[in-house]
Amino acid sequence: MKAAIAGLDPAAYRPHRLHDAERRWPQTNCYVDLLIEVLHATGHDPVAALGFTVTQDFEGDQFTFFKFPTADLQRLAGLDIQELAIFDRLETHLLAQIERGRLPLVELDAFYLPDTRGITYRTGHSKTTVGVNLLDLRTKRMVYFHNDGFFALEGEDYDGLFGQWDGAEAGALPLFPYTEFVKFEAAPAARDVVATARTLLSQHLSRRPKQNPLAAYAAVFGSHAEALSRRSPEYFHTYSFNTLRQVGSNFELLGDHLEWLGRNGQQGLEVAVEAAGRIAEGAKVMQFKLARAMARQRFEGLDTMLAPMVEAYDVVMTALDASMGVSARAA
């Protein structure tokens, strides 16, 4: 069977260092984590593509579910991501792309993904994106990227993922999943990755939020806490994933990107790296404290933990403006 990316073995695969278990946030979100590993597996450094993280905002009820911009991946690595229309049997479309050397990205139910054992595997239903590297209809085996690694499944898990679409035709229920595909070497990769990454960071910096997103979150956290007090402790995981984990992991990745630029000649980023780390660490500590607050139904004092993160955000952006030569925010 042909694989979209040849030469990969789930048993021997080693994730990128951005997924080291010793990091504050070893996982970010399914889409970013997957593409970190896809870039890694195809010989590109994902750290070079992380400048977009400066654009994260607070959206009123959650922090931006951040994703690599397709245009950045095209310029840096020659990758092109397009939507894949599903109008026949799902496996048929996935195989058609894999045979052409393209990697399908498909939203599936984590209930049937064994790599989520202890989280959702066979216990809870959750939408997540995987990259299907190899699909064998005869043996019912799928080899795939998911979150921070590269895995394989077969048998009943395969049937659980694909069985509901067996024989489905256009207009028939259930609805087909959202699917994309990655075209490799769709455009020439940047010859000077560092210079291209620096240019992209400057562009993203000019369109960052007009107001401090940590300050916006702090302003409404009291109402969030009040709402959380009426929810079960189990709801903590859903809330924290969409708020504290997104902002904490985003700024840890931003710190990695700025540190990489500093090692490659960009001056004046040390203060920004340190401040981004404070946001990542602050979000992690607050997540722990919020879990305890949910269990005890006592939320007093949590809002004070946001003040250092608000201050650190301003430090990051001031240092970046000075280093990158951005004098004002975009109108």
Structural domain contains residue 68 = no
Q: Tell which of 183, 206, 232 closes a domain.
A: 183
User: Does 261 reside within a domain?
Assistant: yes
Same structural domain for residues 249 and 174?
no
Query: Do residues 113 and 242 share a domain?
Result: no
Question: Rounded to two decimals, what is the model's pTM?
Answer: 0.94
Q: How far apart are CA 241 and CA 250, in angstroms?
A: 12
Closest CA to 116 of 101, 127, 104, 132: 127
- Asked if 177 and 29 sit in the same domain, the reply is yes
Judge residue 121's burial from the number of C-beta atoms within 10 Å of its C-beta, 0-12 exposed, 13-18 middle, 19 or more buried. middle
Secondary structure (DSSP) of 155-168: THHHHHHHGGGTT-
Q: Are 165 and 254 in a shared domain?
A: no
- Taking Cα atoms as reference points, which of 329, 198, 314, 328 lies closest to residue 267? 198
**Average pLDDT over the chain, rounded to whole?**
93
pLDDT at position 185 is 82
CB count within 10 Å of CB 23 equals 16
Domain assignment present for residue 109? The answer is yes
The single-letter DSSP state of residue 24 is S
Return d(Cα 125, Cα 161) in angstroms, integer: 12
Whether 209 and 283 share a structural domain: yes
- Residue identified by tokens 């994730």 is 15
Q: Tell me, what's the pLDDT at 148?
A: 96
Whether the CB-CB separation of 105 and 97 falls below 8 Å is answered with no
- Same domain assignment for residues 201 and 304: yes
What is the edge-to-edge ordering of all strands in the sheet holding 127-136?
A: 80-83, 179-183, 103-109, 127-136, 141-146, 149-154
pLDDT band at 105 (very low <50, low <70, confident <90, very high): very high
- pLDDT at residue 176, as a whole number: 86
Residues 295 and 199 in one domain: yes
Q: Is residue 63 part of a domain?
A: no
Q: How many domains does the chain have?
A: 2
Cis omega before residue 174 (within 30°)? yes
Is pLDDT at 328 greater than 50 in this prediction?
no
Indicate if 203 and 313 belong to the same structural domain: yes
Q: Which residues does residue 103 pair with via DSSP β-bridges, in sequence order?
A: 182
Task: Give the C-alpha separation, 198 to 183, whole Å.
Answer: 24
- Compute the average pLDDT of residues 126-139: 96
Whether residue 245 sits in one domain with residue 206: yes
Range of the domain at 131: 17-43+80-183
